[in-house]
Chains A and B, each alone.
Chain A
Amino acid sequence: MGAFLLRRAMEAIPTLIGVAIVVFVLVRVVPGDPIAMMISPGATETDIANLRAAYGLDKNIFEQFLIWGTLALSGDFGTSISMRQDVLGLILGRLPATLELAGTATLIAIMLGVTLAVAGSFWRHRLPETIIDAINGLSLAIPDFIWALVFILVFGVLVPVMPISGRMDPRIEFEFVTHFYFLESLLRGEFAILGNLFTHGLMPALALGLPLAAIITRVLKGSLDQALVQDYILLARVKGFGKLRIILGEALRNAAIPALTLTGVQFTFLVGGTVLIEKIFSYPGIGNLAIDAVINRDLPLIQGLIVTFAILFIVVNLSIDLMYAALNPKLRHG
């Protein structure tokens, strides 16, 4: 397992370097000069040159990359042009919010997806399966941002039981030690805070999680249908096992492998989806930060964020591989 991890970590290095180069060049090639955005109407050529030099943009792209790359290796991703703060600090401050949101959304998606898939298989060829398929089709057809707007309208305005924006009520006086608010309040037993975080996170997590839940349902239900005609299931039936026990105890483990792989792939899309969802719900994660960075042409912040997304995707894929190996004995034993 150690060798596997080391090999995958080594494989990630060229990927990250490639991402860094592509991003560095791309953000400088796309239209929009950050200095042009901040020059004042009366600025002289000297003023503009001074500004360009103040942000290190007076050097050629190769020199800029060398400076950025050297500093990035030591963990210094530069200073945000628009926010005037250390890029790494900004990202590390916001990443936990996105991870908690994406994690909750995935959890919701798995719980909903597995429940609906199992229920669909249990009531196969009966009315509940038709209803589940219809709900699933609807969840699959509607994108996350539409769900977000529907939730805001229904639970934020028509029946105002949920907060519409933010991660937590701004009036709450509580000093967090980490940026993992949800986890920290849980571990510190601050359940009132936890409840507030939960109510703020529920709608964005549901909006993000519903399309993934639909995918899990569809794939898992299909896998369960295939598993349920296998010989070992027939044997279980002969032994007199109940239908639910057969599904949960015998078929689900084997059927879960394709669904797990797909969940891993979809998780990366889900993290990408946080950009829009965080904006709609004013949720202070890296997605929201990314939108501002792009609007302001904040080159150091854009670079830092994309490298972070790349690392996140590599880590997620690695985790999925490990879980896949744990579930599938054929992989464990070569």
Chain B
Amino acid sequence: MQFSRRGFVAGSASLAATIATTLVLPKGARAKGGSITIAYHVNLPSWDPTVGLSAVNPTIQGIYQSVFDQFISQNPDLSFTGGLLEKWGFSNDEKTQIFMDVRQGVTWHDGSPFTPEDVVWSLQRAADPKTGNPIQFVWGNLKKFSVSGNRVTVDLDHFDPSLFPWMAFLTAYVMPKDYYTKVGAEGFEKAPIGTGPYIVDKFETNAFLRLKANPNYWGGVAAYDSVVFKFVTDASARVAEVESGASDVTLEIPYQEYDRLSKKSGLKGLTTPVSDIGMIFLNDIGVMEDKNVRLAAHHAIDKDLIVKRLLRGYGVPIDTLEAPQYMAYDASINVGYDPEKSKTLLKASGYSIDNPVKFKIQTTRGFKPKDYEMIQAIVGMWRKVGIAAEIEVYEIAKHYELRASDTLAEAAFYNWGNSIGDPSTSTGFAMFGPSPHSTWDTDDLDAMIGPLWGEKDEAKRIAGWKAVSRYIAEQGYVIPLMQYVQPIVHSDKVNVVPHVSGALLPHLMKPA
């Protein structure tokens, strides 16, 4: 074999071209109308949105809502709209029977027709304790089903004012009866189908999800033919994804990165207050049984300053567990930052800066943006009025365990989501003694809340919850801090519609 210089140069150029072609980045990511890539912040563990841990994980509901439809849907402002039910309501004055008119002309992703039987089966399955649906306390209320045409009628065990809002909430997805029965739970995990705007094209756990637009979607075909969710759980990698152009959209990045990226050429930013609040649970133990201490702790916190300094202005200070978008929000309830009042209250109970009241406050670190730093700042504010709080850091799993066994410390930081905006699913379950998620358990509050679970007059019910919020604020039973703001950064070639629930929904995205 003979080598020539010309042959060497030609061969080298060819080799270089081959390597360059192989190594070059697939730049299909930049939105062109056909395809869009989302750098998503969490993995999708399971495809069944009605059972297990995934079913109650609010961060993955956006993916579920891309593939499955709920009984009732929600507009981006949280208002309710038709899902797979076109109409719904109570059938009798006692409100112990409901009707649901099932949408017609809908097909499952495998082409088979969607029927009222799917609705009945989904609700019965959700109520079955053997399936492991965590929301059985809602679905177990539905007792006797009958179907006539496209109308499903159900007798209830008891009246539940939040039943229909729950039909747009966790685990309220309509599942394919025939398909699921045929393939079973494991088969469904491998090849899930729904009626939603996107069809599962390819899924690799911990790696990516590729969806293709459902050409028969009853709500209109989505603007993007293909959507790729890359599961990028590291925030710095998500920043790099969108900054490099490898992804078109990302969310849940540090606010300072949001500020930087949203000013960059080719990128835009969106910040939307979402249905997720930061709060400090108070437990009815030790020094927290003293109303002066509770109120002093609340008045000593400058929430505006915390939002401004720690969250770079991305947060909405709140004084009740009801965010402004919720049904029972009452803007007239204000606790107010007043450190002098805190000192006076503490003095009345025998405490001062030199003789501070002492308790423990528990918090996560890194579970929510600046959670630990917020608690550090609050402890600093408390110190100035005569409260010496000791911080204990724990994992979120530990928080759930302690809360379920009602053994949290005197104070514990947590975040509470409520994407349906119903007061029963925020103030209700957080503050009602018998709820396994409540921390403050006293008879006075339970006596106020108890009748509201069965209040049939909606106006009275909402007024009742507002009164509960006011009472809680007056008694200082909990310290609401702020409503979170969700940062989204996206290519300027994409129009992203934020949803107050916090769900990032690709079928709401369009080319700019």
Contact = CB atoms under 8 A, between A and B. Distances in A.
B205 A83 contact: yes
Interface residues of B, number: 69
B75 interface: no
Contact of B207 (A32, A195, A282): A282
Contacts of A39: 134, 404, 436-437
Contact of A41 (B43, B46, B231, B429): B429
B132 interface: yes
A142 B200 CA distance: 41
A90 to B, nearest CB: 7
A80 B43 CA distance: 15
Contacts of B52: 38, 81-82, 84
Contact of A162 (B25, B35, B56, B403): B25
Contacts of A157: 240, 243-244
A86 interface: yes
Given A38-B56, A82-B54, A170 B234 contact: no
A152 B232 CA distance: 13
B281 to A, nearest CB: 13
Contact of B430 (A38, A41, A81, A161): A41
Interface in B22-68: 22-23, 25-26, 28, 35, 37, 39, 43, 45-46, 48, 51-56
B373 interface: no
B20 to A, nearest CB: 10
Contact of B53 (A38, A279, A281): A38
Contacts of B395: 31-32
Given A32-B397, A41-B425, A42-B138, A296 B45 contact: yes
Contacts of A199: 22-23, 25
A21 B462 CA distance: 54
Interface in B136-176: 136-138, 170
B189 interface: yes
Contacts of B25: 160-163, 199
B244 A43 contact: no
A33 B210 contact: no
Contacts of A149: 236
A94 B425 CA distance: 38
A284 B207 contact: yes
A50 interface: yes
Contacts of B48: 84
A217 B474 CA distance: 69
A172 B228 CA distance: 12
A170 B400 CA distance: 36
Interface in A167-199: 167, 169-172, 191-192, 195-196, 198-199
B397 A31 contact: yes
B132 A54 contact: yes
A63 interface: no
B129 interface: yes
Interface in A264-279: 279
Contact of B244 (A164, A171, A192, A284): A164
Contacts of B46: 82-85
Contact of A84 (B51, B129, B231): B51
Contacts of B244: 156-157, 160, 164
A48 B436 contact: yes
A169 B132 CA distance: 35
B206 A292 contact: yes
A149 B240 CA distance: 10
Interface in B50-96: 51-56
Q: Which residue, A41, A50, A83, A160, has most C-beta atoms of chain B within 10 A?
A: A41
Contact of B202 (A170, A283, A288): A170
B185 interface: yes
A164 B400 contact: no
B237 A32 contact: no
9 contacts: A43-B134, A83-B189, A152-B240, A153-B240, A170-B228, A171-B226, A282-B230, A282-B231, A292-B206
Report the 7 A-B pairs with minimum CB-CB distance, sorted nearest first.
A32-B397, A41-B429, A195-B22, A284-B207, A31-B398, A170-B208, A50-B129
Given A39-B437, A51-B132, 20 more contacts: A33-B400, A38-B53, A38-B56, A41-B430, A42-B137, A42-B429, A44-B137, A83-B46, A85-B186, A94-B205, A162-B25, A164-B237, A166-B207, A166-B230, A170-B37, A170-B210, A282-B237, A283-B207, A285-B206, A288-B206
Interface of B: 22-23, 25-26, 28, 35, 37, 39, 43, 45-46, 48, 51-56, 129-132, 134-138, 170, 185-186, 189, 202, 204-208, 210, 226, 228, 230-234, 236-237, 240-241, 243-246, 394-395, 397-398, 400-401, 403-405, 425, 428-430, 435-437
